Amino acid sequence: MKSGILVVNKPEGLSSARVVARVKKILGVKKLGHTGTLDPFATGVLLCAVNKGTRISRFFLGGDKQYRAQIRLGVKTDTYDRTGRIVETASNAVMGRLHPDTVSSVVASFRGVQKQIPPVYSALKHEGQPLYKLARNGIKVEKPARQIEIHEISITKIDLPVIDVTVDCSSGTYIRSIAHDIGETLGCGAHLAELCRTRSGSFALDDAVGLDMLEAMGRTRAEQEIVPLSDCLDFLPKKVMPPDLVAKIRHGQPLTVDDIGETVVRCTSDADPSVRLVDDNNTLLAVVQLSEKSRTYNYSCVFAS
């Protein structure tokens, strides 16, 4: 069985955990997880790490995301999305004062680095319990604001009281919180009505395969949709290792700058100084990180054959 990342187009109405369970059954594997939860009502890109792919999941958890969202103005819910209980509805007078130009200006103001308070109905945990479970039992725990970045947010359609937007953002951004905050800024309230993740890291919706299609393919053909380990990490610098070093790497023996080469050292970033090491068949051998002080490489993970 191949290892890597399977890009699934999550359907509406299923939890991310349920999608993982179905994919495990389709592929007949024991080790499979996802790299970023989508709410049950949301659709779109869900990265499923298969077998040894679970060992590189962390490289995708912090990746930027892109979403296509629909926001309904004038109605606030306790969950900030359409699945929640309506807690406030704006009057006709308030809604009548809304103008597309004002809405556009407010939406544009959300671009940039900012602090965002996670919704109390979220999968974040407090003392081991998910916040949404506590909230459903009447215990609403507010987590401290976290720094996020909205790289770009733009309106694709305005048909008041509904607006369609696309959002490019950092990992950890809650789109339903953006919807809620837009409503608060406009003074009318709002909630997230629709959500589709169109990109996660370098994987786009066009790369994704639907669950029904995977089930129709059967195990053998579905396996072919798994992106190989090395290709999954194409955003990291790559070094093809000579045969004499392959065995050394597979046993996790120390590597120096002399083994990897100065070129790779220079192209690693401060944000993630990782390098993927492959053999001449482009099979991933290991992911290593440079230690500037010792000029050696520390192993993040090693893939023994």
Catalytic hit among 39, 81, 168, 259: 39
Half-sphere exposure of 114 (CA within 13 A, CB side): 16
CA distance 179 to 153: 12
Q: Is 39 a catalytic residue?
A: yes
Q: Give DSSP secondary structure letters for 185-249.
A: HHTS-EEEEEEEEEEETTEEGGG-EEHHHHHHH-HHHHHTTSEEHHHHTTTS-EEEPPHHHHHHH
Q: Whose CA is closest to 279, among 244, 233, 225, 241?
A: 241
Question: CA angle, corner 174, sides to 169 and 177, nearest 5?
Answer: 120
Residue with the two structure tokens 């359609």: 157
- Residues that are catalytic: 39
